[in-house]
C-alpha cells in the first residue's frame, strides 16, 4: 500500500488497520459523483476564516439518498470497509476542499462515530498523515491518490490524529504531490 512511516515497525503494526485501495472507482464513477454533488456544493461558499475549525478552505454536505450509480459504489465501499453486522451512520459526509484547503490534525468524535472511517478521494491526489496522539515521533503518511479508497480502523482511528496536508506541505516520500480541489465522500459506522 502507498504508505511511509516513522519506522518499519510502526508501518507493520498499522498494516491491518490502515488500507488504501488505489483506483477503487473508475473515471466514470468519479464523474457520477461529480454530477450528483457539484450542483449542490457550488451553491455554497468555501469557508476560510473559522480559525478554530479543524478544516480550512472547505464546503461540506451530508447526503442520505443517492442516485442508483452512486448508491451502488457506496455499497461497494460499505461491504469493503465494514463488517456485515456493523450499524452505519445513515448520511454520507462530503467534504469539498479548495485547492488551498486542508484538514488539521484531529481525532473523530468517539461519541458520534464508531471504529471505522472509509473515504473516497475525488479530483485530486493528497497526503493523509496519521500522528500518534501522545507520541508525535510516530507517524504514517498515506498517499491518497485520486479515486482511491482509504480505510482507518481501531487504533489508527482512536490513537492517531489524521489530517490532510496543505498544498505547500504535500510531499510523499520526497515526491511533490500537488493538491487540486479535492472532494472526499466519507462513510462511518456508529459507536458500538
Ligand atoms: C474526517 O472527516 O474526519 C476527515 O478527516 C476527512 C478526511 C477526508 O477528507 O478524507
pLDDT at 50: 73
Q: How far is the CA of 7 from the centre of ligand 1 (A)?
A: 24
Query: What is the maximum span of the chain, computed from C-alpha positions, in angstroms?
Result: 46
Q: What is the pLDDT of residues 41-61, one digit of tens each?
A: 999 999 997 777 899 999 999
Across the chain, mean pLDDT equals 95
From the list 143, 115, 121, 120, the residue with the least C-alpha distance to 130 is 143
Of the residues 24, 119, 156, 180, which should be mutated to test ligand 1's pocket, given the most ligand atoms within 8 Å of the CB? 119
pLDDT at 145: 98
Q: What is the pLDDT of residues 22-34, one digit of tens each?
A: 999 999 999 999 9
pLDDT at 142: 98
Q: What is the pLDDT of residues 2-11, one digit of tens each?
A: 999 999 999 9
CB 11 within 8 Å of CB 140: yes
Q: How far is the CA of 96 from the centre of ligand 1 (A)?
A: 10
Q: What is the pLDDT of residues 58-104, one digit of tens each?
A: 999 999 999 999 999 999 999 999 988 889 999 999 999 999 999 99
* Separation between Cα atoms, residue 7 and residue 13, nearest integer Å: 10
What's the pLDDT band for 192 if we cut at 50, 70, 90?
confident
From the list 29, 35, 1, 33, the residue with the least C-alpha distance to 15 is 1
Q: How far is the CA of 187 from the centre of ligand 1 (A)?
A: 10
**Ligand 1 pocket, CB under 6 A:** 95, 103, 108, 119, 162, 164, 184, 186
Q: What is the pLDDT of residues 145-163, one digit of tens each?
A: 999 999 999 999 999 999 9
* Separation between Cα atoms, residue 110 and residue 97, nearest integer Å: 24
pLDDT at 52: 73
Closest residue to atom 9 of ligand 1, CA basis: 184
Closest residue to atom 8 of ligand 1, CA basis: 184
Give 63-118 as a DSSP string. Answer: ES---HHHHHHHHHHHHHHS-TTPPBPSSEEEEEEEEEEEEEEE---TTT--SEEE
Amino acid at each position: 500500500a502507498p504508505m511511509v512511516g516513522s519506522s518499519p515497525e510502526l508501518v507493520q503494526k498499522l498494516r491491518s488497520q490502515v488500507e488504501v485501495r488505489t483506483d477503487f472507482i473508475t473515471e466514470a464513477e468519479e464523474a457520477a459523483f461529480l454530477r450528483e454533488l457539484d450542483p449542490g456544493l457550488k451553491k455554497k461558499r468555501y469557508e476560510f476564516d473559522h480559525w478554530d475549525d479543524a478544516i480550512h478552505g472547505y464546503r461540506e454536505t451530508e447526503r442520505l439518498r443517492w442516485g442508483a450509480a452512486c448508491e451502488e459504489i457506496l455499497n461497494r465501499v460499505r461491504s469493503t470497509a465494514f463488517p456485515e453486522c456493523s450499524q452505519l451512520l445513515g448520511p454520507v459526509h462530503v467534504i469539498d476542499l479548495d485547492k488551498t484547503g486542508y484538514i488539521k490534525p484531529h481525532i473523530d468524535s468517539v461519541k458520534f462515530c464508531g471504529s471505522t472511517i472509509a473515504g473516497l478521494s475525488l479530483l485530486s491526489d493528497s497526503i493523509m498523515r496519521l500522528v500518534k496522539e501522545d507520541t508525535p515521533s510516530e507517524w504514517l503518511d498515506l498517499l491518497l491518490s485520486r479515486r482511491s479508497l482509504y480505510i482507518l480502523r481501531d487504533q489508527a482511528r482512536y490513537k492517531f490524529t489524521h489530517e490532510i496536508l496543505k498544498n505547500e506541505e504535500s510531499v510523499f516520500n520526497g515526491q511533490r504531490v500537488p493538491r487540486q480541489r479535492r472532494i472526499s465522500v466519507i462513510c462511518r459506522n456508529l459507536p458500538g
